[in-house]
């Protein structure tokens, strides 16, 4: 049986987009026909067996367009298996990942009966990414006291494992329908 999955994401600087695209590639490698699209490009959710929804996290909150996507498509998302991911913590410490997501993201997960939610590290490369006003202020702090470490904190093996888990769980969910 052919399984089809949509990975919908909201990304500000491309880190979350990279995670979504990697997950789509891993799902495809595991027998799931998957496509990753920005939430702004998605108008219709018909024709998919399941969904992954992901967003960059800033100040512990999902981007507004990701939250709006879930709110606007809540009824359809509830009809199928859904998994979530967040990206953004600039740390490899698991404690930082747990603290990176606010209760409103947990409410999003609850509202659509999401099966799982994972938090992955993000990317920060000072001086090379377009930045907003808050990030601009932070980026001008002196290096000695700079609160945001520079680097790529995405754990690709964890991202791949999550995608493989989703492929297996989707297979079980589709067979039980």
* pLDDT per residue as tens digits for the range 78-100: 999 999 999 986 656 656 555 56
On the question of pLDDT at 144 being above 70, the answer is: no
Task: Report the pLDDT value the prediction gives residue 90, as an integer from 0 to 100.
Answer: 63
DSSP 24: H
Q: How many Å apart are CA 46 and CA 29, to the nearest integer?
A: 23
The whole-angstrom separation of Cα 12 and Cα 163 is 22
Any residues with CB less than 8 A from the CB of 43 and at least 6 apart, and which? none
Q: Per the confidence metrics, is the pTM higher than 0.75?
A: yes
Separation of alpha carbons 31 and 29, rounded Å? 6
Mean pLDDT score across all residues of the chain: 83
Is domain 3-176 given the CATH code 3.40.50.360 in the classification? yes
pLDDT at 93: 61
pLDDT-based confidence at 172, cuts 50/70/90? confident
| CB-count burial class (<10 Å; 0-12, 13-18, 19+) for 73 | buried
71 versus 139: the higher-pLDDT residue is: 71
pLDDT score of 16: 95
Q: Closest by alpha carbon to 16, among 132, 122, 118?
A: 122
Q: Are strands 3-10 and 32-38 parallel, antiparallel or unpaired?
A: parallel
């Amino acid at each position: 049986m052919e399984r089809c999955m949509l990975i919908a994401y909201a990304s500000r600087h491309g880190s979350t987009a990279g995670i979504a695209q990697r997950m789509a590639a891993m799902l495809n490698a595991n027998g799931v026909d998957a496509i990753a699209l920005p939430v702004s490009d998605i108008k219709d959710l018909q024709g998919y067996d399941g969904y992954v929804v992901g967003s960059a996290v800033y100040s512990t909150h999902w981007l507004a367009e990701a939250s709006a996507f879930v709110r606007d498509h809540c009824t359809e998302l509830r009809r199928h298996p859904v998994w979530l991911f967040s990206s953004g913590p600039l740390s490899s410490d698991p404690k930082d990942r747990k603290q990176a997501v606010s209760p409103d993201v947990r409410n999003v997960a609850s509202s659509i009966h999401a099966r799982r939610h994972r938090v992955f590290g993000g990317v920060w490369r000072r001086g090379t990414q377009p930045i907003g006003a808050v990030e601009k202020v932070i980026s001008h702090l002196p290096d000695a006291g700079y609160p945001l470490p520079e680097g790529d904190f995405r754990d690709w093996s964890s991202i791949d494992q999550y995608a493989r888990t989703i492929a297996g769980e989707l297979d079980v969910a589709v067979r039980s329908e």
